[in-house]
């Protein structure tokens, strides 16, 4: 069954396949390190939840086995970049907020591992990023980061 996950004040509803609210709630309640969930919409990738900094998580099972209808975050249907993308909490959600393209020298698994380590250790993490307006750095405070999605 598919589970809908909403985190704090971020407006996004994340689709987690083959999960139930009971199982995810139990895992979060017992977590001693960040929890990684596979998400399929609105971005497909790995959702990394901080066991320390996430303020609230709503876990919603769709009623009566209905399939939740998702919306495409990429209305232009352009090719996805080959470098990992990182989405951080935003009041606008992933359709309107920046999604940062990380250096192609880093693969998705490494980006997830680096975020998990920063959350676990409460350390700072810096990724080289590429944006339509230029290049630069994305600096993340692992101690304060409630969640990130790497896709």
CA dist., res. 15 & res. 39, Å (int): 5
Specify the pLDDT at position 91.
Answer: 82
In the numeric block, the tokens 């998400």 are attached to 39
Domain ranges across the chain: 3-63+81-145
pTM, entire model = 0.79
Q: Which tokens sit at 75? A: 């209305």
Specify the pLDDT at position 76.
Answer: 41
Specify the pLDDT at position 71.
Answer: 41
Q: Residues near 133 by Cβ (< 8 Å), separated by ≥ 6? A: none
Q: What is the pLDDT tens value at each position of the chain, 151 positions in all?
A: 789 999 988 889 999 999 989 899 899 989 999 999 999 999 999 999 998 898 889 888 876 554 544 443 343 444 445 689 998 888 888 877 778 888 878 899 999 999 999 999 999 999 988 766 567 788 899 999 999 999 9
């Amino acid at each position: 069954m598919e589970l809908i996950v909403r985190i704090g004040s971020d407006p996004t509803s994340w689709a987690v396949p083959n999960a139930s609210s009971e199982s995810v709630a139990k895992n979060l309640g017992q977590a001693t390190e960040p929890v990684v969930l596979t998400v399929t919409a609105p971005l497909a990738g790995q959702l990394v939840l901080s066991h320390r900094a996430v303020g609230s998580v709503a876990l919603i099972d769709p009623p009566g086995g209905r399939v939740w209808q998702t919306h495409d975050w990429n209305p232009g249907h352009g090719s996805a970049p080959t470098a990992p993308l990182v989405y951080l909490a935003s009041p606008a959600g992933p359709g309107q907020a920046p999604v940062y393209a990380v250096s192609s020298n880093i693969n998705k698994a490494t980006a997830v591992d680096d975020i998990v380590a920063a959350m676990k250790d409460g350390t700072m993490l810096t990724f080289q990023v590429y944006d339509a307006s230029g290049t630069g750095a994305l600096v993340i405070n692992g101690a304060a980061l409630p969640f990130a999605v790497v896709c």
